[in-house]
Amino acid sequence: MGDSAKKILYVNSEIFPYLPESDISRIGRYLPQGIQERKKEIRSFMPRYGCINERKNQLHEVIRLSGMNIIINDVDRPLVIKVASISAARMQVYFIDNEDYFHRKQVYSDENGKFFEDNGERAVFFARGVLETVKKLRWAPDIVHCQGWISHILPLYLKKVYSDDPIFSDSKVILSLYGDISKETFPENLKEKIRFGDITDADLGAMDTSDGIGLAKLAVSYSDGIIMGTGHLDGGLAEFCGKSGLPILPYDAETIENGSYIDVYNNFYDRF
């Protein structure tokens, strides 16, 4: 695709300052700004977790984008889209919201540190919510960059359910891997909850375990390029990526530290 890769869709699990600073949230904040400054168009999404103060961060609902329902487990769940601006970056952030999934005050685990039982469903809702909202925006991304575990179902949906849609027919998926929930487990019926459209058991074959590693492997199997967001991936995930045959951008702590990773990532995008 080369220099024609002008539109980058960021699907983030975390963005600073809406969540505390971390490796993922800092890149979620500064990478889109840097890529926009390099003359590419960007859109950025994350979940509207309940700990995000809407008044302080000036979130407001986008009525023209809200109003859809997403069916999970035979239950219709309203999709609410909110937006806020990071004025210093001249950048908007879209938030995927739903009262059942994203109004609790904790992000992924309860007050006792227990991983939420419905986190898999939350990831399904987030992935489908992002794709449906981008369709409504009529904004066709050249690159979809997924960052953080809650984005890991989106590559499957884009390639197996939405690939015939003209909005996404030419989109390439870049996956940044952090191993952020590699030791967490999901209910055994997660595959049933993920299944949507014409997705079959074979399509879910890479997800050989119902945990963070299995979900990451599923994401890798429907991506076009991998960015190593950390130098330490658990459970053979780095080996799995190596065997995938995909272009891989290795982790480089120095470029992350000094900010030059933005140019490195930008050049990586231009390979697709």
Q: In the prediction, which pLDDT does 4 show?
A: 53
Residue type at 149 in one-letter notation: W
Give the tens place of pLDDT for each residue, 179-213. Answer: 898 889 999 999 999 999 899 999 999 999 999 99
pTM of the prediction? 0.96
Residues of the chain with pLDDT under 70: 1-5
Q: Which helix (H) or strand (E) holds 220?
A: helix 212-221
Q: In the prediction, which pLDDT does 45 show?
A: 98
Which has the closest alpha carbon to 269: 91, 44, 41?
Answer: 41
CA atoms lying within 13 Å on the CB side of residue 197? 14
Residue type at 50 in one-letter notation: G
Q: In the prediction, which pLDDT does 1 show?
A: 45
Dihedral (C-alpha) 271, 226, 164, 215: value to the nearest 10 degrees? 180
Instruction: State the residue for tokens 């890798």.
Output: 220
β-partners of residue 41 are 7
Q: In the prediction, which pLDDT does 2 show?
A: 45
β-partners of residue 185 are 211
DSSP code per residue over 146-191: EESGGGTTHHHHHHHTSTTSTTTTT-EEEEEE--TTTT-B--TTHH
3-state secondary structure of 256: helix
Q: Cα–Cα distance between 124 and 128 in angstroms, integer? A: 6
**Those residues with Cβ within 8 angstroms of residue 220's Cβ, 6 or more apart along the chain or in another chain:** 175, 177, 206, 226, 237, 240, 241, 244, 246
Backbone φ/ψ region at 106: left (φ over 0), alpha (ψ -120 to 50), beta: beta
